[in-house]
Chain A
Amino acid sequence: MKKLLAGLATALLTLTAPAMAQDYPDRPLMMMVSYGAGGATDFQARIVTMTAGNEDALGQPIAIVNKPGAGGRVGWNWLATQADADGYTLGAYNVPHFIAQSIEGGVEYSTDSFEPIANWGADPAVFVVGADSEFDTMEDVVNWAKENPGKLTFSGAGLFVGHHIAALQLEKAAGVKLAYIPNNKGGAGAMKAVIAGEVMGGVNNLSDAFRAREAGNVKILGVFDLDRSDFLPDVPTMAEQGFDIDNASVNFRGVMVPKGTPQEVIDVLAEKVPAMFENDRVKGKMKAGGSPMHVMTRDEVIEMWQARQATLEELLAGL
Chain B
Amino acid sequence: MEFIGYFGEVFQPVSFMLLLIGTIGGLILGATPGLSPTMAVALLIPFTFQLEAAQGLILLGAAYTSTVAGGAVSAILLKIPGAPANIATTLDGHTMAKQGRGAEALQLSFLASAVGGVFGVFLLIFLTPVLAQWALAFGPSHLFWLAILGVTVIGTLDSNSVVKGLLSGCIGMWLATIGFDDIMGAQRFIFHPELSGGINIIPALIGLFAIPQVLTMFARGREPSGAEVLAVQRHPIRKAIGETLRRYKSLILGTGIGSFIGLIPGVGGQIAGLVAYDQARKFSSERRKFGTGHSEGVIAAESANNAMVGPSLVPLLTLSVPGSPTAAVLLGGLLIHGIFPGSDLFDNHPDVAWTFINSMLVGQILMCIFGLYVAGLAARVAQVPQSVMAALVLGLAVFGSYSVQNSMGDVYVMAALGVGMYFLERFGFAAAPLVLGLILGPIAEANFIQGSMIADATTGRLTYFFGGALNLALIGIVLASVIYSAWMEIRQRRIDRKDEEALA
Q: Do A and B come together as binding partners?
A: yes
Contact with A along B384-418 (1 / 0, CB 8 A): 00000000000000000000011100000000000
Contact with B along A133-164 (1 / 0, CB 8 A): 00000000000000000111100001110000
A216 part of interface (Cβ distance < 8 Å): yes
Contact with A along B453-489 (1 / 0, CB 8 A): 1101110000000000000000000000000000000
The reply to whether B331 and A184 form a contact with Cβ atoms under 8 Å apart is: no
B378 part of interface (Cβ distance < 8 Å): no
The reply to whether B407 and A67 form a contact with Cβ atoms under 8 Å apart is: yes
A37-B328, A151-B457, A217-B342 known; A159-B49 Cβ under 8 A = no
List B contacts of A159 (CB < 8 A): 183-185
A188 part of interface (Cβ distance < 8 Å): yes
Within 8 A of B (CB), among A32-46: 36-39, 42-43, 46
- Shortest Cβ distance from B203 into chain A, in angstroms? 13
B341 part of interface (Cβ distance < 8 Å): yes
List B contacts of A29 (CB < 8 A): none
A37-B42, A214-B344, A215-B343 known; A158-B183 Cβ under 8 A = yes
A58 part of interface (Cβ distance < 8 Å): no
The reply to whether B332 and A214 form a contact with Cβ atoms under 8 Å apart is: no
List B contacts of A288 (CB < 8 A): 335-338
The 8 Å CB contact of A179, one of B138, B326, B406, B457, is B457
The reply to whether A290 and B454 form a contact with Cβ atoms under 8 Å apart is: no
B273 part of interface (Cβ distance < 8 Å): no
B446 part of interface (Cβ distance < 8 Å): yes
Complex Cα gap A185–B264 (Å): 14
The reply to whether A69 and B180 form a contact with Cβ atoms under 8 Å apart is: yes
Complex Cα gap A196–B137 (Å): 7
The reply to whether B321 and A188 form a contact with Cβ atoms under 8 Å apart is: yes
The reply to whether B325 and A36 form a contact with Cβ atoms under 8 Å apart is: yes
Q: Which of B193-201, B220-228, B299-307 contacts A (4 or more CB under 8 A)?
A: B193-201
B212 part of interface (Cβ distance < 8 Å): no
Complex Cα gap A101–B187 (Å): 13
List A contacts of B38 (CB < 8 A): 37-38
List B contacts of A302 (CB < 8 A): none
List B contacts of A151 (CB < 8 A): 457-458
- Shortest Cβ distance from A41 into chain B, in angstroms? 11
The reply to whether B340 and A211 form a contact with Cβ atoms under 8 Å apart is: yes
Contact with A along B10-53 (1 / 0, CB 8 A): 00000000000000000000000000001100100110010000
List A contacts of B442 (CB < 8 A): 184
B350 part of interface (Cβ distance < 8 Å): no
Within 8 A of B (CB), among A195-254: 195-199, 211-212, 214-217
- Shortest Cβ distance from A101 into chain B, in angstroms? 7
The 8 Å CB contact of A192, one of B180, B265, B405, is B265
Complex Cα gap A39–B331 (Å): 9
Complex Cα gap A181–B322 (Å): 20
- Shortest Cβ distance from A177 into chain B, in angstroms? 10
Contact with B along A68-106 (1 / 0, CB 8 A): 011101100110011000000000000000000100101
Residue on A with the closest CB to B139? A198
A46-B332, A153-B457, A192-B136 known; A74-B185 Cβ under 8 A = no
A59 part of interface (Cβ distance < 8 Å): no
Complex Cα gap A287–B331 (Å): 15
A172 part of interface (Cβ distance < 8 Å): no
The reply to whether A67 and B136 form a contact with Cβ atoms under 8 Å apart is: no
The reply to whether A195 and B319 form a contact with Cβ atoms under 8 Å apart is: yes
B233 part of interface (Cβ distance < 8 Å): no
The reply to whether A160 and B322 form a contact with Cβ atoms under 8 Å apart is: no
Residue on A with the closest CB to B320? A215
Residue on B with the closest CB to A212? B320
Residue on B with the closest CB to A67? B405
- Shortest Cβ distance from A310 into chain B, in angstroms? 22
A70-B185, A74-B196 known; A217-B320 Cβ under 8 A = yes
The reply to whether B458 and A160 form a contact with Cβ atoms under 8 Å apart is: no
The reply to whether B182 and A70 form a contact with Cβ atoms under 8 Å apart is: yes
The reply to whether A70 and B180 form a contact with Cβ atoms under 8 Å apart is: yes
- Interface bin, chain B: 35 or more
A196-B139, A215-B344, A217-B342 known; A184-B185 Cβ under 8 A = no
The reply to whether B336 and A195 form a contact with Cβ atoms under 8 Å apart is: no
The reply to whether A65 and B450 form a contact with Cβ atoms under 8 Å apart is: no
The reply to whether B49 and A50 form a contact with Cβ atoms under 8 Å apart is: yes
List A contacts of B180 (CB < 8 A): 69-71, 73-74
List B contacts of A37 (CB < 8 A): 38-39, 42, 325, 328-329, 332
B181 part of interface (Cβ distance < 8 Å): yes
Complex Cα gap A104–B406 (Å): 28
A189 part of interface (Cβ distance < 8 Å): yes
The reply to whether A158 and B179 form a contact with Cβ atoms under 8 Å apart is: no
The 8 Å CB contact of B328, one of A30, A39, A69, A197, is A39
Complex Cα gap A191–B319 (Å): 10
List A contacts of B184 (CB < 8 A): 159
The reply to whether A198 and B338 form a contact with Cβ atoms under 8 Å apart is: no
Most buried by B among A36, A65, A184, A195: A184
A182 part of interface (Cβ distance < 8 Å): yes
Contact with A along B155-186 (1 / 0, CB 8 A): 00000000000000000000000011111111
The reply to whether B342 and A46 form a contact with Cβ atoms under 8 Å apart is: no
A289 part of interface (Cβ distance < 8 Å): yes
The reply to whether A215 and B319 form a contact with Cβ atoms under 8 Å apart is: yes
List A contacts of B458 (CB < 8 A): 151, 153
Within 8 A of B (CB), among A94-131: 101, 104, 106
List B contacts of A60 (CB < 8 A): none
Complex Cα gap A26–B231 (Å): 51
Residue on B with the closest CB to A287? B338
Contact with A along B266-279 (1 / 0, CB 8 A): 10000000000000
B315 part of interface (Cβ distance < 8 Å): yes
The reply to whether A184 and B45 form a contact with Cβ atoms under 8 Å apart is: no
The reply to whether A38 and B185 form a contact with Cβ atoms under 8 Å apart is: no
B140 part of interface (Cβ distance < 8 Å): yes
Complex Cα gap A71–B326 (Å): 19
The reply to whether B321 and A38 form a contact with Cβ atoms under 8 Å apart is: no
The reply to whether A181 and B450 form a contact with Cβ atoms under 8 Å apart is: yes
Complex Cα gap A188–B266 (Å): 11
Can you list 23 A-B contacts (CB < 8 A)?
A: A36-B328, A37-B39, A37-B325, A38-B329, A38-B332, A46-B45, A67-B405, A151-B458, A153-B457, A158-B185, A159-B185, A182-B450, A195-B321, A196-B137, A212-B321, A215-B341, A215-B342, A215-B343, A215-B344, A216-B343, A217-B319, A217-B320, A288-B337
Residues of A within 8 A of B (CB): 30, 36-39, 42-43, 46-47, 50, 65-67, 69-71, 73-74, 77-78, 81-82, 101, 104, 106, 150-153, 158-160, 179, 181-185, 188-189, 191-193, 195-199, 211-212, 214-217, 285, 287-290
Please list the 8 inter-chain residue pairs (A to B) with the smallest Cβ-Cβ separation, ordered nearest first.
A215-B342, A38-B328, A288-B338, A70-B180, A179-B457, A289-B335, A184-B182, A196-B136
Knowing that A38-B322, A158-B183 are A-B contacts, what are 20 other residue pairs whose CB atoms are under 8 Å apart, sorted by A's residue number? A38-B42, A38-B332, A65-B405, A70-B180, A71-B185, A77-B196, A81-B193, A159-B183, A179-B454, A184-B450, A192-B319, A193-B139, A196-B137, A198-B140, A198-B454, A211-B335, A214-B344, A288-B337, A289-B335, A290-B335
Residues of B within 8 A of A (CB): 38-39, 42, 45-46, 49, 136-140, 179-187, 193, 196-198, 265-266, 315, 319-322, 325-332, 335-338, 340-344, 405-407, 442, 446, 450, 453-454, 456-458
